[in-house]
Amino acid sequence: MDEDDVDVTFLMFDIQRNILLDQLPDGETVLCFQFPDLDQFGTWWLVCTEDDVDLCHQDPGKDVNAYITCRSRHMMEIWMGDLPLAAALKTGTIKLLGEIAVCKRFSKWFPLSQAAVVPRPTVTERG
């Protein structure tokens, strides 16, 4: 994947559509995704309730329950299943900061993209 292939807006809309709300605490949960490598659109908020997820690229003015910080390229690789989430968490490639109830269940409410299960060609197969 080239740097030009990373579209953080598309990524965040895809994450919004796939968050598993039943794996978050009851009530409202605010998640802040931070991409320190981006000058524009480097911070996004997901305001989650039991039946809805609102995606914001401007601060909604709500208390944040968890911050998820990762370079945009790495987040795309995690989302697509190319970089194992457990390894990214262990090495600090992705960092979580916030309420234990939200951070501890990250892998439960943050499923991988539906495309993550699609096999990708190896370097040899791509030619």
Burial of 24 by CB count in 10 Å (0-12 exposed, 13-18 middle, 19+ buried)?
buried
pLDDT band for position 113 (cuts 50, 70, 90):
confident
Mean pLDDT of 10-26: 95
Q: Could you give the CA distance from residue 25 to residue 42 in angstroms, rounded to a whole number? A: 26
pLDDT band for position 44 (cuts 50, 70, 90):
very high
Amino acid at 122: T
Residue 112 is predicted with a pLDDT of 82
pLDDT band for position 1 (cuts 50, 70, 90):
very low
pTM, two decimal places:
0.87
Mean pLDDT of 45-71: 97
